[in-house]
Structure 1
Amino acid sequence: MTGLGDINAMTPADFIAAFGDVAEHSPWVAREAGAARPFDSRDQMISAFETALRGANRGAQLALIRAHPDLATRARLTDDSTREQAGAGLSSLSAEEFARFTDLNARYKARFGFPFIFAVKGATKQMILESFEARIHNSPETEFEMAIAQVCRIFRFRLEDRVAL
């Protein structure tokens, strides 16, 4: 865990090196968030990451969403994604569960053009599947906003794991 004093004292390059992976394969979010320093609290830092994402143009937002892996995939994941998905039981699915996730991932991407985003920390695979089943019927605009909101939750979880109060 890193304290705010150390975070506020980091060079821009060091800040990006330390937090550039909070947003999946999108270090530009950390660059933008880091420009809002000094932070008075961890929540203010988390808010800076959310503000950076929400202030970006739709193309940048979509690219960040598309940088996220499918849930329960066998593809290579970032360390954070691997840990988060394992914690939700997604690394130990039955063959039937894996087939269900694979089907939902394919249907969701075909409908919306980006992967299903769900901040899995603290969730069970049943909770994730229920959300998947419900959200696949949303409008594209509603689901885009849901994806952004879930990415912001991921920011929170990852920063809470790394930044001391």
Structure 2
Amino acid sequence: MTQPLATLDRQAFVRAFGDIYEHSPWIAEQAFDQGPLPDDVEQLHQRMSAIVLSAPRGLQLALINAHPDLAGKAAVQGELTDASKREQSGAGIHQCSAEEFQRFTTLNEAYKARFGFPFIMAVKGSDRYQILAAFEQRLAHSAEAEFTCAVAEINKIALFRLRAL
């Protein structure tokens, strides 16, 4: 984005930043509504992540559930958002063997059965082996710890997406 944020009206801002958080434009709307926008990406991320952290638990859960499974059905069927596609591809998920895809499927199902929401990980800088290892490790977490972890990972994903703009 080359245009200074301060020059954007609400509609343009939400159009540009509404998908920083997967299918959750309410975060961009609230960030705009808080007043003058910072031109610094880090400060914008702080504002947006504070909105997420202070949101009611139900909204946080909806945000978590807006994310696709890693190497899940949406990836296989080509239904990911462009950002999710780039992130998963960058981690080499598209290169999984049939056995690795099956492992992802099994872990996705076990994770959702245990926690009631999809596994979230900011995969930038990770490969599919690291992701599978994180899956297995995080399955041992408490539900509360994993909920907190999922929200923190979503905020990391948002920062990566903002920096990419």
TM-score using structure 1 length: 0.94
1:12-23 matches, within 5 Å, as: 12-23=10-21
User: Residue 28 of structure 2 corresponds to which residue in structure 1?
Assistant: 30
Deviation at 1:109, TM superposition (A): 0.2
Gaps of 5+ in 1: none
Task: State the distance in 2 between where 1:38 and 1:16 align.
Answer: 12
Task: State the distance in 1 between where 2:49 and 2:145 align.
Answer: 18
2:70 matches 1:71: yes
TM-score using structure 2 length: 0.94
Shift >6 Å, 4+ stretches: none
Gaps of 5+ in 2: none
| Aligned residue type for 1:114 | F
1:126-137 matches, within 5 Å, as: 126-137=129-140
Deviation at 1:40, TM superposition (A): 4.7
Q: Deviations over 1:38-78 (max 9, x none)?
A: 20521100101101101110000000000000001231110
Would you say the 8 A contact 1:33–1:51 is kept in 2? no
Task: State the distance in 1 between where 2:125 and 2:6 align.
Answer: 29
- Secondary structure of the residue aligned to 1:91 is helix
User: Residue 58 of structure 2 corresponds to which residue in structure 1?
Assistant: 59
- RMSD of aligned C-alpha atoms? 1.0
Task: State the distance in 2 between where 1:2 and 1:115 align.
Answer: 34
Aligned residues: 160
